[in-house]
């Protein structure tokens, strides 16, 4: 029996489907209140939120947001976020006597607590980019849609379901899988009957990592220009022959094989 060739579309979540930057700032502050008792207010000062939105492009994984909010409070310059974020994460963890996993747990707990207390408020602190969830729902009739995110799965799932996007268990890969997007893309490409893999991402560094893997040379790459990328990221994406730059109007208009 012939298998129908499947076209896979793997989507990043934050910065492609959902603008969660404000929520991330608030959750980071709430998590930080457990670590730094001098943070006494339940909400971050508005100028910290504004600064956090500026440095959001350099966030890769959720728990780093807690350190980033601390760096915002300490008034650090852009270059510290751009070039030394992981060093700062390790430095604060050493000061606090905790590890990366503790930061993940602390950040997740702050979010869980917010969701438990005020689910509607938590969902409402996110904005889905115009038209994207409708496009995903339509695309699912023809394509195999996956979401690859560095968020914990339960948060991404709750948000997607609030928009009527219900993905089976094996279509959503979150932080807890502990796998790189490159690794997941390779596995998806090896799947039976898979004819094409398309990957949509707003983080230039992640696209550069995919470009560096020879086994992923057939994956079609798209840079989501509406996400958290910097102007320099956009210039890079426009000049990179394997990357197609999408504005929101082009979202899910896949390249022909």
**Residue closest to Mg ion (Cβ):** 15
233 is a contact residue toward Mg ion (CB under 5 A):
no
Question: CB 226 → Mg ion: shortest distance, Å?
Answer: 11
Footprint (CB under 5 A) of Mg ion, residues 202-221: 202-203
On the 0-12 / 13-18 / 19+ scale of CB atoms within 10 A, 207 is buried
CB of 108 to Mg ion, least distance (A): 18
Q: Concatenate the DSSP letters of all residues of 93-127 into one string.
A: HHHHT--HHHHHHHHHHHHHHHHHH-HHHHHHT-E
Distance in angstroms (rounded) separating the CA atoms of residues 218 and 210: 11
| Residue 103 near residue 67, CB atoms below 8 Å | yes
The nearest distance, CB 23 to Mg ion, in angstroms, is 14
Q: How far is the CB of 75 from Mg ion (least distance, A)?
A: 26
CB of 11 to Mg ion, least distance (A): 10
Q: How far is the CB of 227 from Mg ion (least distance, A)?
A: 6
**Please, which residue, 35 or 148, has the CB nearer to Mg ion?**
148
* Residues in region 89-148 near Mg ion by CB under 5 A: none
Residue with smaller CB distance to Mg ion, 15 or 174:
15
Which runs of consecutive H residues, i.e. helices, occur in 140-230? 153-162, 181-190, 204-211
List the alpha helices (DSSP H) in 56-99: 64-73, 78-96
> Where does this chain touch Mg ion (CB under 5 A) — which range of 7-15, 46-54, 66-74, 88-96?
7-15
Using CB under 5 A as the binding rule, the residues of this chain from 11 to 40 that contact Mg ion are: 12, 14-15
Nearer to Mg ion by C-beta: 92 or 251? 251
Measured in whole angstroms, how far is the alpha carbon of residue 182 from the centre of its chain? 14
Q: Which of 195, 179, 257, 253 is nearest to 222 (CA)?
A: 253
Which CB atom, from 15 or from 44, has the smaller least distance to Mg ion? 15
Footprint on this chain of Mg ion (rule: CB under 5 A):
12, 14-15, 202-203
């Amino acid at each position: 029996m012939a298998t129908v060739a499947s076209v896979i579309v793997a989507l990043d979540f934050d910065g492609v489907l959902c603008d969660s930057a404000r929520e991330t700032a608030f959750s980071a502050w709430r998590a930080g209140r457990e670590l730094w008792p001098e943070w006494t207010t339940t909400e971050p000062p508005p100028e910290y939120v504004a600064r956090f939105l500026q440095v959001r492009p350099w966030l890769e994984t959720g728990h780093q947001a807690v350190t980033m909010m601390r760096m915002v409070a300490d008034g650090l310059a852009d270059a510290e976020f751009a070039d030394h974020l992981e060093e700062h994460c390790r430095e604060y963890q050493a000061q606090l006597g905790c590890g990366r996993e503790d930061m993940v747990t602390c950040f997740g707990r702050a979010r869980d607590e917010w969701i438990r207390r005020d689910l509607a408020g938590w969902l409402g602190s996110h904005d889905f980019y115009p038209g994207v969830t409708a496009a995903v729902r339509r695309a699912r009739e023809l394509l195999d849609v996956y979401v690859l995110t560095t968020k914990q799965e339960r948060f991404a799932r709750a948000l997607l379901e609030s928009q009527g996007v219900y993905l089976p268990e094996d279509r959503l890969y979150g932080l807890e899988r502990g796998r790189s997007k490159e690794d997941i893309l390779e596995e998806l490409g090896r799947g039976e009957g898979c004819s094409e893999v398309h990957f949509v991402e707003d983080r230039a560094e992640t696209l550069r990592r995919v470009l560096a893997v020879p086994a992923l040379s057939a994956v079609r790459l798209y840079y989501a220009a509406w996400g958290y990328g910097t102007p320099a990221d956009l210039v890079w994406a426009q000049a990179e022959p394997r990357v197609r730059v999408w504005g929101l109007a082009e979202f899910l208009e896949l390249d022909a094989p």
